[in-house]
């Protein structure tokens, strides 16, 4: 079985985001960038399946600027076999266009499982996995918290839904998107980081795909969230209850 893992380079989740002075977006210059956390979970899941002998090859794909090669390398250091970078200068490529690129890569590579994060923490779109499944006509299991491959080329995926846990069975080839509790991604060891440097990353220019990749959305304005008032410390539970009752009036 072959897995295609999609990884996006985003601002590291520990960084305090700063909005650009002209409100057109957020500052990305001199800011620590990392692999989208849900994509780390996707890489980890594929690597665990490979370690169990369920997957033979893991391809790590990113669509982005040259710098996304670092993100692909991180995936290779975790256990991916080879990488593909679809290179574009557009830092804000939209999910539909990402989906079209992934669709084209799938036609060439024929993966049995496309695994993505449930959402990218920069745009919070939560669209790409669903778009890829639709374009390819593959079954999809989104928000996976457990993935179990069966002998008959089906995969059971458990999803956290409002009422509890839902388990669905999908046939491969399929699309899976990862939720937070699926696994805890490993830290790449130094020898694996060194080994990853030898692994191949194929770089393809986005123009060669001949796909309409113009953006359909205009970002009108980006603003900081409203500042929160500072909190206070109360002496004991009694004064807390008193304040909740008489000041906040929520009890
Ligand atoms: P989104 O729909 O933008 O919230 O992204 C959902 C998932 O799609 C991410 O967690 C990634 O796995 C994948 N994805 C989105 N954008 C890219 C990209 N530029 N390159 C590779 N994968 C991406």
Share of the chain above pLDDT 90, in %: 87
Residue 71 domain flag: yes
Distance between CA 201 and CA 196 in Å, rounded? 10
In short, whether 125's Cβ falls inside 6 Å of ligand 1 is yes
Share of the chain above pLDDT 70, in %: 100
Q: Which domain holds residue 153?
A: 2-246
Cα dihedral 211, 217, 219, 220 sign? positive
- Per-residue pLDDT tens for 51-107? 999 999 999 999 999 999 999 999 999 999 999 999 999 888 999 999 999 999 999
Mutate to test the pocket of ligand 1, among 9, 10, 36 (most ligand atoms within 8 A of CB): 36
Residue 93 domain flag: yes
Residue 251 domain flag: no
Residue 222 domain flag: yes
In short, whether 120's Cβ falls inside 6 Å of ligand 1 is yes
- Per-residue pLDDT tens for 143-183? 999 999 999 999 999 999 988 999 999 999 999 999 999 99
pLDDT bracket for residue 228 (50, 70, 90): confident
Phi, psi of 145 (to 5 degrees): -115, -5
DSSP string, 102-145: HHHHHHHH--SEEEEES--TTT----HHHHHHHHHT--EEEEEE
In short, whether 119's Cβ falls inside 6 Å of ligand 1 is yes
Number of structural domains, the chain? Answer: 1
Give me the CATH number covering residue 193.
3.40.50.620
Token pair belonging to 126? 């939560």
In short, whether 7's Cβ falls inside 6 Å of ligand 1 is yes
Torsion of CA 133, 53, 43, 131, to 10 degrees: 0
Given a contact cutoff of 8 angstroms between Cβ atoms, the answer to whether 27 and 224 are in contact is no
Answer whether the bond into residue 173 is a cis peptide, omega within 30°. Answer: yes
Distance between CA 19 and CA 10 in Å, rounded? 15
The pLDDT assigned to 251 comes to 83
Residue 70 CA, ligand 1 centroid: distance in Å:
16
Residue 64 CA, ligand 1 centroid: distance in Å:
10
Environment class of 66 (CB within 10 Å of its CB; exposed 0-12, middle 13-18, buried 19+): exposed
Q: Quick one: average pLDDT of 210-234? A: 90
Residue 36 domain flag: yes
| Averaged confidence pLDDT in the chain | 95
Give the chain's end-to-end CA distance (angstroms, integer): 56
Residue 209 domain flag: yes
């Amino acid at each position: 079985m072959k897995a295609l893992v999609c990884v996006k380079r985003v601002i590291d989740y520990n960084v305090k985001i700063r909005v650009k002075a002209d409100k057109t977006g957020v500052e990305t210059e001199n800011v620590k960038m990392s692999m989208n956390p849900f994509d780390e979970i996707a890489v980890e899941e594929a690597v665990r399946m490979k370690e169990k002998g369920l997957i033979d090859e893991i391809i790590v794909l990113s669509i982005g600027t040259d710098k996304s090669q670092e993100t692909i390398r991180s995936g290779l250091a975790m256990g991916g076999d080879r990488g593909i970078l679809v290179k574009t200068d557009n830092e804000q490529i939209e999910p539909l266009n990402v989906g079209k690129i992934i669709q084209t890569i799938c036609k060439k590579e024929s993966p049995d499982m496309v695994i993505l994060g449930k959402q990218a923490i920069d745009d919070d779109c939560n669209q790409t996995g669903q778009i890829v499944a639709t374009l390819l006509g593959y079954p999809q299991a989104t928000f996976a918290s457990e993935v179990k491959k069966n002998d008959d080329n089906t995969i059971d995926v458990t999803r956290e839904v409002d009422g509890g846990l839902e388990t669905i069975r999908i046939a491969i080839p399929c699309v899976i998107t990862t939720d937070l509790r699926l696994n805890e991604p490993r830290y790449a060891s130094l020898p694996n980081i060194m080994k990853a440097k030898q692994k191949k990353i194929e770089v393809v220019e986005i123009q060669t795909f001949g796909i309409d990749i113009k953006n359909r959305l205009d970002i009108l304005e980006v603003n900081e969230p409203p500042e929160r008032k500072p909190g206070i410390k109360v002496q004991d539970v009694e004064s807390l209850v008193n304040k909740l009752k008489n000041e906040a009036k929520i009890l």
